[in-house]
Amino acid sequence: MTIIVTGGAGFIGSNFIHEWFSNENEDLINIDCLTYAGNLENLKVLNENKLYHFYKNRIGDKSDIEKILNRFNPRAIINFAAESHVDKSIYGPESFFKTNVMETLSLLEVTKNYYDQMPEISKKKFKFIHISTDEVFGSLQLNEKPFKESNPYLPNSPYAASKAASDHLVRSFNKTHKLPCIISNCSNNYGPFQYPEKLIPLVINNALNLKNLPVYGKGNQIRDWLHVKDHCKAIITILEDGAPSETYNIGGSCEMENIEVIKIICNSLDNLRPRKDKKKYEDLIKFVSDRPGHDLRYAINSDKIMKELKWKPKIKFSDGINDTIEWYLNSSEWLMNVLDKSYDIWMKKNYNKR
């Protein structure tokens, strides 16, 4: 049997592939177009694995995707492929809607055609799993209950809007074409291989280079933190036991203010890699103007997946963040390589215009 993963060279996708091969003995096809955030170095230990196959394609490359489906006859497709950085979506939204909406539509169309031609016995086992985000639900006030699967979609950034649109497309193919689709909406992930545009690796990298640690507003934005390994185990659980037509929220049950997370990282680095000038890493914190439309709080209610599929997060933030910091400390070459890509050029060009 075979599964296909799209966007498998990115942060969550590559962690999923590692998790898959730590327990499974089944072929996996990785389709990724290798944008700045996609890095085959994340998966180099699998280069000699005969069960692992890589294809450099966009999910909108209909003809090539069709050939891959017909060659490998997968029992499932897990769609991680997405543009995902909120700041970038604010100043350059077009690529987000191209990838997250139009190319997801292309992938769905090709998958539908493949599914329609499958034998009935194979249809009963097939699943299209679409990986989404809690940001589609918008922002919570401090006194509001965490997002449930039934919450209305109220996206506040172009990124969130593009993901909301893709979720609606997936749902429509399920309801209209009977394609067996499942949507998962996860909270903020952290862990190895995350591109340093995101909060935790950005703070680690800037701190180690004695650069300012920019904090939007007062840093009181609240996020629910989920270790990527727990997320990947949840997706495997959904693949094996999840019901088509369902949506599942995946959260870490770990709400923290951004400023608190930053200070935890600084304190950990003070112990693991003390500054030569004897100063504290917290001294590098610099409060900057908040970004437009910045959501105050995200929080996920994971009761459904915990009750129905018996999954729950196992990695405590205190353990996960220390392991993550140590991974980055031991991966300086990886960090240098991923930073030597077009994203930095794009950011400098666009942020200089602000």
SS3 13: helix
Report H helices in the chain: 11-23, 62-72, 86-91, 94-97, 104-116, 120-123, 158-177, 199-208, 228-241, 258-272, 303-308, 317-329, 332-339, 342-351
User: Which of 115, 159, 195, 343 is the catalytic position?
Assistant: 159
Number of Cβ within 10 Å of residue 330's Cβ equals: 10
As a whole number of angstroms, the distance between CA 129 and CA 237 comes to: 11
Q: Which of 135, 224, 230, 255 is catalytic?
A: 135
Structure tokens at 186: 């996860």
Sheet of 76-79, strands arranged across: 52-56, 27-32, 2-6, 76-79, 127-133, 181-186, 247-250
**Residue 66 in contact with residue 132, Cβ under 8 Å?**
no
- Which run of H or E residues covers position 6? strand 2-6
Is 190 designated active site?
no
For residue 320, the tally of other CB atoms under 10 A from its CB is 23
Is residue 135 part of the annotated active site? The answer reads yes
Q: Of 157, 56, 144, 138, which Cα lies nearest the Cα of 100? A: 157
Give the burial class of 20: count Cβ atoms within 10 A of its Cβ; 0-12 exposed, 13-18 middle, 19 or more buried: buried
Residue 134 annotated in active site:
yes
From the candidates 32, 83, 103, 134, give the one annotated as an active-site residue: 134
Catalytic residues: 134-135, 159
